[in-house]
Structure 1
């Protein structure tokens, strides 16, 4: 900083030889006496030391010499007034720089207006006197004037005995603010500590030295390419004009400037900056949040956490990625990898494939498909030497050798290279997949992965994929997932919003739009609360597909308060290596309450709830579907529930503890409940009354129990005489086993009310 350069100000007074009428013998103010024509002042044209100069005889106690021009005093600017002087004859005086402080109102009193005095102790010796004037009270400032003066009149004072003659070279006034810059500015420059910025020299030591010297100030990295050869931590705040180059494994920890914009500036590349910031997030504990600062980050390749932090194998401290947007840019980095291979499967080792051909080309995280493979089965680990793959879930198709397809999608955030990741949160982030990439791939194991207040838009294949148990306790709260297949008929869609393999997922207050399937859930203890998912299309009548899929028999889960739109809740055991019933818990532990179910323009055979056993012998042993609203729009539906017998049927003789009541059915032909309340009217006297509750009973259930039978009014015989004997009941009558007979001791007629169940209540 130099105001003579930046503002074009002329600070140095004119040479004495140009006239003494601007040089005052008083304070330099307008109208004061000048040396023009004075008897004690003369111009010497050719002094051997000074050339042209002023010769002055001391005639006053304090002989003043002041330039009458107004030298500006600006806040933050420091001026040095200097002059060369020598004694020629007579008494030897002392000399000092002096000034006169002025404001718009006149002289500013009470300020120091003189510099240090220097005695002239010999003739002909040239000495230089100087003083620094400025607004701030800083070391080295002789005259601290503050901000009241706006200009000054500067020159010299001669003190001591009169009669001496001196010669004075031209007065010099310089802006020396730069001398104070290091203390005045709130930063230090890495170049001052040896940084080269040539992209080759390792500047790490210079950065560390600048950090040590900052002492509460910041660090400035000017233009250049600075190679940092190893891990570096910077405590001071830092700002970048130049950029850094670092090896992949070297971490940059910006302790006081930890945010995405700073890292993006540091590396001159948004994605690289994001990756280095994430690398630092997993490496130290001073920060647990990477703030994107509302920035949009252009993503050209998967952000592979293991690749950017190769020294991290697992991580269990809470970390948060928040407040920004990722925008996927099209490119070959997003191309799906597909491998077809032969492999052998044994139910005795139900998550392992052996004898895998071409195994070296099968990546971790690939989805497995083929005969006998359920939905969302992934490769969790690869052992090339042993020729084995570890699967996320068992296969239902039994033991044998078969050809399988392995499909590896590409994800914006890929955590699959970590063995374990706990407590990672994504908060207030939008991932724009643009139909080019999937969004998030979880680590093989971990707990409490959380996505909240976020948006996943147009994933090519998957929103969130779990290839193991990294989904344990997953939280998806207040999010929106928008499919890339909104214009595709529902039955042709292949995308899935997310899958879960472990227990205790909490899916709450989120919205899912037109995926092939919204969620595929293995495990138990899931809470699906307050969400809206819809999978309809413009087809009439439209095929409607599964939205929520449970893939194990006993789920201990609740589906509560959701808006379930044009989709099926499907309950299977497709992730069971031996899907036939074998003394385990069968289908049970599911509560479906307080939901709104809607279907529009759907085929009449569509149902909102489908139970699909993949093996024989299964039954329902605990199911509560109550207080829901089922509504068909633009058409009617036959029923709300069914058993899909593609692979097997249910054993209805073992139904137990099924409660279906309090539901509202609109546009649904058949009312369904359990227990069902039936009013039986017998107009002619018969000894056996046949009651047919079958259409009301869920899942084609048998009429297995009668909870109560109450006569309304008198039961009479053919002569209208009262029949007082108690009838007995026979259940599971008829070829469908869905009828109940009421048997009287004599022919009887009248009305009774019955509560009939398809199950045993306990």
Structure 2
């Protein structure tokens, strides 16, 4: 670059032959004294070395010579001022190039170096050349570093040392030598040319902004060094980093033209800090909605508190996305759970509140709550220190009174819990490599439509995705893999849970999960669990199996369709009821289990694939559709696929409606369940009452509460062996457990009858 060539910029001062009225004996500003008519200066038209030149008698301690023209100064432009001088007589002075820096308004810019190196004239008649370079940036060879503030300068020279000597000065030359510092055809600007200093302490925010403004589509170069930024900086042009930047937590660094994690890693030189700063910009700049991790592996040594990385945001509800990379966990102590045991009081009438919590300040939002009468995956949603109250993610089923609770705060790679609300956030094509140390994602206490897709959570220590409140409203988890940390652990001894969800409208689709204690614990209504493969077996003979999916409230209005349930089972409980005894409502209702594959091997005979576990009395089924499923056991048989876990209570089988258990297939299952159930009854002796037994084939050991059809399959014979045509009346719920049906005839008959019995 040479502005004299490219822009026709006039840099050269006028020759002395044009008169001395434009040459000042002061600083060169308008109104300063000139050498026109001065007694100590004269133009010499002919000199053997110079041709025309200025002859000057030094009369002052510092004899100044400044051109009064305003020589422009531009960031990134470097000027060399050259003078040729020789001593004629008298004392020989010292010579140096000098200037005067001024703003566009004419004010002097203080604090700058305005003189070049000094040279002593050592003989008479010998020509000495002095020069100095002035420019905006700190570069090797630049004598006067003026930064980006000056708009122009008045240039010339100084004579210092002893007075009384006579010197002659050739015409002063000013030339653009920017090409000595830059390529002639550069496509970038250097932040140093705008005053940036890479010393780690000088505030370079203004210089960075100025360089970006001047780039106008070119790249901005940040050369070697550490550049401190005391304020937020936004680049509207691409940036290339050879050096690094450092800035405060609250300052935002936005790279709008190369917004991706590799650029931030280049900028900050630290992967964790780079991600935090990129995430901060993601939530503070409307120019980008996605953060591309660039396929990079980010090594992290501690949990990432995402809200702490964005201190100016307490919540966020615009679509934002993170994609394409891996988080790789190292370290140990930073990932250890924080465990607090505190006494608290719980009242079922206040469902989700613990009161009078001892040492409440030590309890963290997002902590798992355990204790007597506490269901699975209950978390701390909010902590109110002044009132000593803790708000829970779910009610407790049997914890009335005062007791000690344990609050365990797991550490997560991506922790959203510091935000009060996060909505419309998505993560795709990302692996959270937990390395048996960390956990995956902790959602915010509230929010809608968080989406995790096409990603991996690998070897989490305790949890994959946790919800401590209702930040899981409309949660979408699609086509992901959850890989266990507990593969060699017997099923019953595992502690890890891949996912929990508290709010409505959860979608869990086409995922794969291996050998967790539970794949998902689901609260809320309207969940859709479709197309997943989850397996939880072990090498134990007659092994115990754990629930793959837990529906943790009674009325759920959920769909469970097309899944591959491998060595685990579906459990349906009401452990999220603060008053678990049935007092009204729909009880266990509205669940469809359709077209799934259920497989188990080497399990105890009492194992079942569909387990209902009421936590209170008088509950019953008010809507269950189990159709089109494939039930199979290998390496041994199982008694049945359906059962009631009576650890707390039994189901009331005298109630129930809308129960369909049909169209399923059973292999190595001793007692297949059906409702409606077709029973073939053979009556070989003449009786007026035929007892039709269901033999436990109604689902969950249900009662015979309805008969849809009676079809004779042989001739009815009376005691005289004469065929008769008659119909019986039906007595339901007979026998000690109500599982039998009595057919009552007017007379004693023998024959065969097919009876279609229902449990609803």
Q: Which of the five TM-score ranges fits, normalised by the shorter chain?
A: 0.7 to 0.9
> Does the 8 A contact of 1:589 with 1:621 survive in 2?
yes
1:479 aligned residue? 480
SS in 1 for 2:590: strand
Correspondence for 2:723:
722
Instruction: Give distance in 2, aligned partners of 1:487 and 1:309.
Output: 40
Q: How many residues end up aligned between the 2 structures?
A: 594
Partner residue in 2 for 1:94? none
Counterpart for residue 434 of structure 2: 433
Q: Which residue of 2 aligns with 1:416?
A: 417
After TM superposition, list the pairs within 5 Å mapping 1:451-600 onto structure 2.
Answer: 451-600=452-601
1:637 aligns with 2:648: no
Q: For the Cα contact (< 8 Å) 2:372–2:399, is it kept in 1?
A: no
Task: Decide whether the 8 Å contact of 1:694 with 1:701 is kept in 2.
Answer: no
Residue 718 of structure 1: how far off its partner (Å): 2.3
Q: How does 1:74-93 map to 2 (within 5 A)?
A: none
Is the 1:318–1:422 contact (alpha carbons within 8 Å) kept by the matching residues of 2? Answer: yes
* Distance in 2 separating the partners of 1:610 and 1:210: 67
Which residue of structure 1 aligns with residue 247 of structure 2? 246
Deviation at 1:725, TM superposition (A): 2.5
| CA–CA distance in structure 1, aligned partners of residues 283 and 691 of structure 2 | 71
Q: CA deviation at 1:232?
A: 1.2
Instruction: Establish whether residue 626 from structure 1 lines up as the match of residue 600 from structure 2.
Output: no
Distance 1:284 1:580 in 2: 52
Between the aligned partners of 2:626 and 2:666, the Cα distance in structure 1 is 13
SS in 1 for 2:326: strand
Separation in 1, partners of 2:206, 2:502: 48
The within-5 A match list for 1:21-170 is: 49=49
- Residue matched to 2:319: 318
Q: How far is the alpha carbon of 1:182 from its aligned partner?
A: 6.5
Matched, 1:399 2:425: no
1:358 deviation in Å?
1.0
Q: Could you list the runs of 5+ residues in structure 2 that have no partner in the other structure? A: 2-46, 51-83, 85-126, 128-174
Show the counterpart of 1:149.
none
Displacement of 1:175: 13
Q: 1:715 to 1:511 in 2, by over 3 A?
A: same
TM-score by length of 1: 0.76
Q: Distance in 1 between matches of 2:685 and 2:225?
A: 103
On the 8 A contact 2:497/2:518 being kept in 1, the answer is: yes
Q: Which residue of 2 aligns with 1:271?
A: 272
Q: Which residue of 2 aligns with 1:369?
A: 370
Cα distance in 1 for residues equivalent to 2:709 and 2:269: 78
1:198-255: per-residue Cα shift (whole Å, max 9, x none)?
1111100000000010011010101111111111111110011111111011110111
Match of 1:233 in 2: 234
**What SS does structure 2 have at the residue aligned with 1:523?**
coil
Closer/same/farther in 2, CA of residues 398 and 335 from structure 1, 3 Å limit: closer
Give TM-score scaled by structure 2 length.
0.77
For 1:680 and 1:240, the matched residues in 2 are separated by 86
Instruction: Provide the rounded CA distance (Å) in 1 between the counterparts of 2:515 and 2:707.
Output: 43
Secondary structure at 1:695 match in 2: coil
Q: How does 1:344-355 map to 2 (within 5 A)?
A: 344-355=345-356
Aligned pairs for 1:600-615 within 5 A: 600-615=601-616
Residue 650 of structure 1 corresponds to which residue in structure 2?
651
Within 2, Cα distance between the matches of 1:438 and 1:489?
A: 21
2:375 counterpart SS class: coil
Q: Distance in 2 between matches of 1:712 and 1:218?
A: 90
Q: Secondary structure at the match of 2:513?
A: strand
Q: Secondary structure in 1 aligned to 2:713?
A: strand
**Residue 537 of structure 1, CA deviation:** 0.6
Return the offset for 1:184.
1.6
Q: Distance in 2 between matches of 1:677 and 1:469?
A: 45
CA distance in 2, matches of 1:338, 1:477: 32
Q: Distance in 1 between matches of 2:199 and 2:176?
A: 32
Segments of 4+ in structure 1 off by > 2 A?
A: 47-50, 174-177, 179-183
**Structure 1 residue ranges without an equivalent (≥5):** 2-46, 51-83, 85-125, 127-173
Distance 1:278 1:657 in 2: 50
Q: What value does the CA root-mean-square deviation take over the aligned residues?
A: 1.9
Q: Take 1:376 and 1:369, find their aligned partners in 2: how far apart are those partners?
A: 9
Query: Which residue does the alignment assign to 1:697?
Result: 698
1:49 Cα offset (Å): 4.4
C-alpha separation in 1, matches of 2:660 and 2:704: 14
Task: Please give the alpha-carbon distance, in whole angstroms, between the structure 2 residues aligned to 1:445 and 1:576.
Answer: 21
Counterpart-to-counterpart distance in 1, 2:441 and 2:461:
12
1:346, distance to aligned residue in structure 2 (A): 1.0
- Mapped partners of 1:417, 1:176: distance in 2: 55
Given that residues 566 and 600 in structure 2 are in contact (C-alpha distance below 8 angstroms), is that contact kept between their aligned partners in structure 1? yes
**Matches of 1:426 and 1:408, distance apart in 2:** 23
Contact residue 633 and residue 667 of structure 2 kept, 8 A: yes
Between the aligned partners of 1:634 and 1:330, the Cα distance in structure 2 is 43
CA distance in 1, matches of 2:301, 2:282: 21
Aligned equivalents of 2:617 and 2:183: distance in 1? 82
Shift of the alpha carbon at 1:330?
2.0
**Aligned mates of 2:284, 2:604 — CA distance in 1:** 55
Native 8 Å contact 1:711 1:752 kept in 2:
yes
In structure 2, C-alpha distance between the alignment counterparts of 1:175 and 1:282, rounded to whole Å? 44
Give distance in 2, aligned partners of 1:535 and 1:332.
29
> SS of the residue aligned with 1:682?
strand
Q: How far did residue 48 of structure 1 move?
A: 6.7
Contact 1:694 1:702 in 2 (8 A): no
